[in-house]
């Protein structure tokens, strides 16, 4: 590390201000994610008396450039001990990671939800129903960038984030999608 970097970081508390900005951004976004996740569960008829676990991760942890997410178990009367988790987040990746990302040099960001330990069959059913319905034209289906055998998600449901002012609108769209498409498909698979 060069002395210039240390000097620049110490001058007028630049390092501390940058850390505070990142902390404030992550805290505010995590609050929004938890509110969205809780509303998704509530509006789909799932138990909302659950604990959300939050994480903000940088590029040293995964293929994403950054991920800010929260997750909570999906519980309902038919499966009170289910290990499926709703994960809601924002991810930034390099454009070459996603097939339909623009080819510019900037990061590609999207808001997303996924079901960890979810059914591949249900995910495929949801993807097919969504792509056949023009009212969900903003929604994309991507591979999960966080593959883990312990918490595997069959894929993610995402909306590209091109404008910060669209963030709330995108979360509302994802909530409606979960409530009207994904949750009914889950319940139908349980009833079979």
Q: What is the mean pLDDT of the chain?
A: 87
Instruction: Show the tokens assigned to 46.
Output: 């799932």
- Domain ranges for the chain, please list them: 3-191
Q: How far is it between the farthest Cα atoms of the chain?
A: 66
The pLDDT tens digits of the residues spanning 2-19 come to 667 777 777 778 888 888
Residues 6+ apart with CB under 8 A from 175: 36, 39, 40, 43
The answer to whether 38 and 48 are in contact (CB under 8 A) is yes
- Element holding 189 (H helix, E strand): helix 183-191
- Give residue 1's pLDDT band: very low, low, confident or very high (50, 70, 90): low
Span 125-141, pLDDT tens digits: 999 999 999 999 999 99
Give the neighbor-by-neighbor strand order of the sheet with 53-57.
53-57, 66-73, 85-93, 108-116, 156-160, 140-142
Cα–Cα distance for residue pair 68/27, rounded to 1 Å: 10
147, 114 Cβ separation under 8 angstroms: no
- Looking at the DSSP bridge assignments, the partners of residue 136 are none
Element (H, E) at 30: helix 14-43
């Amino acid at each position: 590390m060069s002395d210039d970097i240390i000097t620049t970081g110490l001058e007028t508390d630049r390092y501390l201000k940058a850390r505070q900005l990142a902390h404030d951004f992550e805290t505010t976004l995590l609050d929004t994610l938890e509110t969205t996740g809780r509303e998704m569960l509530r509006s789909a008829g799932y138990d909302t008396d659950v604990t959300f676990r939050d994480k903000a991760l940088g590029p040293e942890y995964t293929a994403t450039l950054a991920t800010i997410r929260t997750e909570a178990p999906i519980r309902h009367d038919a499966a009170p001990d289910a290990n499926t988790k709703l994960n809601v987040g924002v991810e930034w990746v390099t454009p070459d990671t996603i097939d339909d990302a623009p080819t510019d040099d900037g990061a590609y960001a999207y808001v997303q939800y996924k079901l960890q330990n979810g059914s591949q069959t249900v995910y495929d059913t949801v993807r097919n129903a969504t792509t056949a319905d023009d009212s969900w034209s903003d929604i994309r289906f991507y591979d999960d960038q966080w593959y883990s055998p312990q918490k595997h998600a069959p894929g993610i449901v995402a909306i590209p984030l091109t404008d910060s002012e669209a963030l709330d609108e995108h979360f509302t769209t994802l909530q409606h999608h979960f409530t009207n498409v994904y949750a009914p498909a889950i319940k139908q698979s349980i009833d079979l």
